[in-house]
Amino acid sequence: MTAITCDALIVGGGVAGLFALDALRARGLSALLIELTALGSGQTTASQGILHAGVKYALAGAVGDDAGEVSRAAALWKERLCEPAGDLASVKKLANSCFLWRTAGVRGMVGMAAAAYALESRPLPVAASDRPRWLDEVAGDVMKLPETVIDPRSLLDVLARRHIGQLARGRVAHVMRVGELLQIEIEARVPMTVRCRELILAAGSGNEQLSRLAGEPLSMQRRPLRQAFVRGALPMVFGHCIDGAKTRITVTSEQLNGGEVVWNVGGELAERGASMDAHEFAQHARSEIEGAVRGLSLSGFEFASHLVDRAEPQTQSGRRPPRAFAHSAHGVTTLWPVKLVLAPGIADEIAEKVAGRVAGEGTAPIAWPSTIERLALADRPWQSAQWSLLS
């Protein structure tokens, strides 16, 4: 069995793990990443890719908490994405802004007012003459929000290409402490033993079991979603339909190779849909989407859905944690970024602390042996979805 010694081993090949790997290696530490299936499988490739500017969370009255943190994080993302020298400048950007529109009625007006005044990145009113055609028949106010939308698979690709030799496929089978090092046994095509100073768990829904295996157990909660996908000759739509303090639907779009467009629809629709079966959800989703985008008929378009769990640290209320989460003890750090926009910030915090603990004792740069299986990028969920025609 081959043995490797490094400063840090990261478990989990989603956006959290790749940003952690990137941050550690940028500080001169030797780090490797192991993933059970494919890069981004699970939450990352299912993400809508919106770098939220905080308005969505301000609607729920969280202006001084997660809304403010998200707003600051979005500003840092823009530097990395949009500046010519930004290290993420080559990530595919799907949109530079999102529309925010309300359903007619008092509750919608109240929600829009909260969004308009809550944060520094305030949505700007859009005159009727400047609205895209798909918003022509929306009776309520329309605003434009400076939220960037990225292709999350492109983000994974950009980060992975920097660290090809440090990424491998395998499963953590056993963790034990040997002196000042952690010894991790990895089941892979070629079994491996990794000895490291720091173990970073960034495996999303796998973190609960892994933290127990590492002797530092943490409780996790799952908040399930059923995302809706619509495919056909659709306009490119990016935005949120607001109803009171709820985001009725959130839509992002990607153009497929044949010219068709697929809508990825989340928001409250996806939260409620988690308790529905596929047929019931298709009917409900059609009603909600057509109700939010007035004048739209989905008849003749293809529809699919996808169940995904948002994995997070356990909270007393069971609601979404207010900020990114990382807990470190005895060389084991368990990480849940909670939101895509917060992933690079929490990764930088962890890397700074790890660098401080290693304190100049880092090992030389290292790579997985060439015999170990390399990782592919996971597909977007609609690529393997079961599609049906809406009549």
- State pLDDT tens for residues 122-143: 678 999 999 999 999 888 889 9
What's the confidence (pLDDT) of residue 69?
76
Phi and psi of 172, rounded to 5°?
-75, 120
pLDDT category of residue 246 using cuts at 50, 70 and 90:
confident
DSSP 62-125: -IIIIIHHHHHHHHHHHHHHHSTT-TTTTSPEEES-EEEEE-SSHHHHHHHHHHHHSSSS--EE
Rounded-to-integer distance, Cα 329 and Cα 352, Å? 15
Taken in order 339, 345, 351, 356, is the CA torsion positive or negative? negative
What's the confidence (pLDDT) of residue 56?
58
Q: Shortest CA distance to 86 belongs to which of 96, 95, 99, 77? A: 77
E strands along 210-271, which residues?
A: 220-232, 239-243, 246-255, 261-266
Summarize the confidence of residues 323-339 as an average pLDDT: 95
CA angle 75, 81, 82 (to 5 degrees): 85
What class does CATH assign to 2-44+155-219+315-358?
alpha beta
CB 220 within 8 A of CB 205: yes
**Greatest C-alpha distance within the chain:** 70
Task: Look at 14-23, 152-161, 241-250, 269-278 and tell me which has the smallest mean pLDDT.
Answer: 241-250
382 DSSP assignment: G
Segments making up each domain of the chain, as ranges: 2-44+155-219+315-358, 95-148+223-310
In the beta sheet, which residues pair with residue 309? 224
Summarize the confidence of residues 22-44 as an average pLDDT: 96
pLDDT digits over 291-319, tens only? 999 999 999 999 999 999 999 999 988 88
Give me the chain's average pLDDT, please. Answer: 90
What's the confidence (pLDDT) of residue 59?
55
What's the confidence (pLDDT) of residue 119?
46
Statement: residue 115 has pLDDT above 60 = no
What's the confidence (pLDDT) of residue 201?
98
What's the confidence (pLDDT) of residue 268?
95
CA 182 vs CA 17, 200, 221: distances in Å: 19, 11, 27
DSSP 334-359: EEE-SSGGGHHHHHHHHHHHHHHHHT
pLDDT category of residue 243 using cuts at 50, 70 and 90:
confident
Rounded-to-integer distance, Cα 140 and Cα 241, Å? 10
pLDDT digits over 372-381, tens only? 999 999 999 9
Q: Shortest CA distance to 17 belongs to which of 37, 39, 2? A: 39
Q: For residue 7, is it left (φ>0), alpha (ψ between -120 and 50) or beta?
A: alpha
Rounded-to-integer distance, Cα 345 and Cα 327, Å? 15
CA 353 vs CA 5, 27, 100, 120: distances in Å: 20, 11, 39, 30
Rounded-to-integer distance, Cα 115 and Cα 329, Å? 39
Task: Look at 117-126, 344-353, 361-370 and tell me which has the smallest mean pLDDT.
Answer: 117-126
Among the four given CATH numbers 3.40.720, 2.40.400, 3.30.9, 1.20.140, the one describing domain 95-148+223-310: 3.30.9
What's the confidence (pLDDT) of residue 118?
47
CA 228 vs CA 9, 190, 239, 309: distances in Å: 36, 39, 15, 14
CB 186 within 8 A of CB 194: yes
Rounded-to-integer distance, Cα 258 and Cα 46, Å? 21
Rounded-to-integer distance, Cα 169 and Cα 130, Å? 49
